[in-house]
Amino acid sequence: MMSYGQFAKHLLVLAGLFALPVLSNAGELGPQPPKAKEKASAKTECVRPVKEMRKNHMKLLLHKRDETMREGVRTKEISLSECIECHVTPKKDGEYPRIGEDEHFCSSCHNYAAVNIDCFDCHSDLPKDASAHMHTLNGNNPHHKDLASKDSLKKETLDVLIEGGKK
Amino acid sequence: MSPKTPESTTDQYRRKFLKQSAAVGGLMVAPGVILNQVAHAKPDAEKVSNKNRWGILVDTNKCSKGCNDCVTACQEENGWGKSETKSRPDQQAQWIRKVTITDKQTGHVQSLPLMCQHCENPPCVDVCPTGASMKREDGIVLVDRHICIGCRYCMMACPYKARSFIHEHLQYQKVNAPRGIGTVESCNMCAPRVDRDREPACVEACSKAEHGALLFGDLKDPESAISVELKKHGGKQIRADLGLNTGVRYQGI
């Protein structure tokens, strides 16, 4: 027979084992959405209480999408671009995270829950200030041509960049 | 319940009086209200209504042959043209294109922009199996990509070849112009701009280039510049025989 003291000890160990996942969950596991920018911080809340947003953001967006698309309602409150504007914040290295990366606000939860969203097949996943200059960065419109107009590079350097130094 | 009490008769008189006085009041307020509507932008929360019908008038005699500014402005505004790198040229999007037409008899060459004609009876809307191809209350015809399944039936129905299909994954779309793989797209008369009381990008670019060949406005407002011009000099529809009543009209063709 187990003594009372021994039984209590075993019980304690068992309780500890059960508590382990709960405790560690609070630390590292689970989705870790990045903090929003200033305007939706602890002082100024999101457009709805956080609890409601976690559960129903897709319903709000679905409703607003039809209103905007079909009836031309352009209010900013429940607009996807405004969500992105506030919630997508730069990573530690200063670059903006893209959809699919855990640092991206939407992906931080959707990756965890394995719920695929196709919003960003069409919609911009970056705030305006990030997407404004990035879209022009391709072969047809390289960055160094913008620099040329700003006189920020030496003429010789530009010749190499633009003409490939063939002159 | 008594069917008719003296009170209820009094109520009726009161109602009548109130109605009449409201009508008089309404008359007095009305001019101010109308002024208000003209002077101020559409509030963001207001729905578009069939009180307006947006249209564009193209004066082909003012349209410069070498100029492509409307096209590049549209590309810049809506982010098409440069983003599709894998599609063949004939697959790439064309929301607006410059067309050159030559009269073989006289040799007269004309250049004009061709885009979605924003028909009153759009064939693309008729054929769409999902309701994605749609016409807004204010006459702008566009695609709701949320429910577009990419069948391209509308592309076949359009007599103006105004629609394109996106064949590849896109990145860095404009915030105001979401567009992506598997959906059909076309000129939306810059609906996001129009909703904020701005002109479409092509019209703005044309006046910026000092050609002034494009005129945007409300076809239902008899005092708008476009209506006045249409009344004075007229404007043709391309393929008027189809009876589509287009919102884009042309002068000089």
pLDDT of residue B30: 47
- Tell me the pLDDT of chain A averaged across its residues: 76
Q: Pull the structure tokens for residue B10.
A: 């009094």
Q: Using one digit for the tens of pLDDT, what is the confidence trace for A126-140?
A: 998 776 555 444 444
- Asked if residue B57 lies in contact with residue B251, where contact means CB atoms within 8 angstroms, the answer is yes
Residue A54 predicted with pLDDT over 50: yes
ipTM value for the complex: 0.78
Q: Is residue A8 part of a domain?
A: no
For A69, which residue in chain B has the nearest alpha carbon?
B144
Q: Which positions ≥6 away from B61 have C-beta within 8 Å?
A: B213, B251, B252
Beta-carbon contacts of A51 under 8 Å, excluding residues fewer than 6 positions away, are: none
Instruction: Give a yes or no: residue A160 inside a domain.
Output: yes
What distance in Å separates residue A83's CA from the closest CA in chain B? 12
- A122 and A141 in one domain? no
Q: How far is CA B94 from CA B84, B87, B136, B185, in A?
A: 11, 12, 21, 9
At residue B153, φ and ψ (nearest 5 deg) are -60, -40
CATH code 2.70.170.10 for B54-251: no
Instruction: Inspect the interface and report whether the beta carbons of A73 and B138 lie closer than 8 Å.
Output: no
Which one, of A54, A51, A46, lies nearest residue A85 by Cα?
A46
CB-based contact B170:B180 (threshold 8 Å): yes
Is the distance from CB of A143 to CB of A157 less than 8 angstroms? no
In a domain, A106, yes or no: yes
pLDDT confidence of A146, banded at 50, 70, 90?
A: very low
pLDDT band at residue A117 under the 50/70/90 scheme: very high
Number of CB atoms found within 10 A of residue A146's CB:
13
What is residue A30's predicted lDDT score, i.e. its pLDDT?
79
A122/B138 CB distance under 8 A: no
Query: Does A69 contact chain B (CB < 8 Å)?
Result: yes
A77 touches chain B (CB under 8 A): no
B33 touches B183 (CB < 8 A)? no
* Domain-located, residue A16: no
Q: Which residues pair with B236 in a beta bridge?
A: B250
pLDDT band at A10 (very low <50, low <70, confident <90, very high): confident
- Give yes or no: residues A116 and A161 share one domain: no
Q: Do A90 and A166 belong together in one domain?
A: no
Cβ pair B146, A65 in contact under 8 A? yes
Shared domain check, A83 and A50: yes
- Inter-chain contact B173–A122, Cβ cutoff 8 Å? yes
A119 lies in the same domain as A167: no
In a domain, A63, yes or no: yes
Name the stretches of chain B with pLDDT < 50. 1-4, 26-27, 29-39
The answer to whether B203 and B215 have CB atoms below 8 angstroms apart is: yes
DSSP state of B145: T
Residues A123 and A148 in one domain: no
Best interface-test mutation with B: which of A66, A70, A98, A129 has the largest number of B CBs within 10 A?
Answer: A70
Full DSSP string of A101-163: STTSHHHHHHHHHT----HHHHS--S-HHHHHHHTT-STTS-HHHHHHHTT-S-HHHHHHHHH
Same domain, A77 and A119: yes
A111 & A147 share domain: no
Query: Which residue from B183, B245, B249, B184 is spatially nearest to B214, judged by alpha carbons?
Result: B249
Question: Which chain A residues are closer than 8 Å to B41 by Cβ?
Answer: none
**Distance from the B179 Cα atom to the nearest Cα atom in chain A, whole angstroms:** 4
Token pair 């079909």 in the structure block, residue:
A70
User: What's the half-sphere exposure (Cβ side, CA atoms, 13 Å) at A81?
Assistant: 19
pLDDT classification of A46: cutoffs 50, 70, 90:
confident
- Residue A7 inside a domain? The answer is no
Would you say residue A61 lies in a domain? yes
Do A147 and A100 share a domain, yes or no? no
Give A70-92 pLDDT, tens digit per residue. Answer: 999 999 989 999 999 889 988 88
pLDDT in the model for residue A34: 84
Q: How far apart are CA A33 and CA A103, in angstroms?
A: 7
The pLDDT value recorded for residue B22 is 59
Q: Are B248 and B117 in contact (CB under 8 A)?
A: yes
Q: Which domain holds residue A164?
A: 136-167
Measured in degrees and rounded to the nearest 5, phi and psi for residue B113 equal: -85, 140
Task: Using CA coordinates, name the residue in chain A closest to B78.
Answer: A135
pLDDT tens across B157-202, in order? Answer: 999 999 999 999 998 899 999 999 999 999 999 999 999 999 999 9
Contact B112, B63 (CB under 8 A): yes
> Distance between CA atoms of A41 and A30, rounded to whole angstroms?
21
- Looking at CA atoms only, how far is residue A72 from chain B in angstroms? 6
Contact B136 A72 (CB under 8 A): yes
pTM over 0.80: no
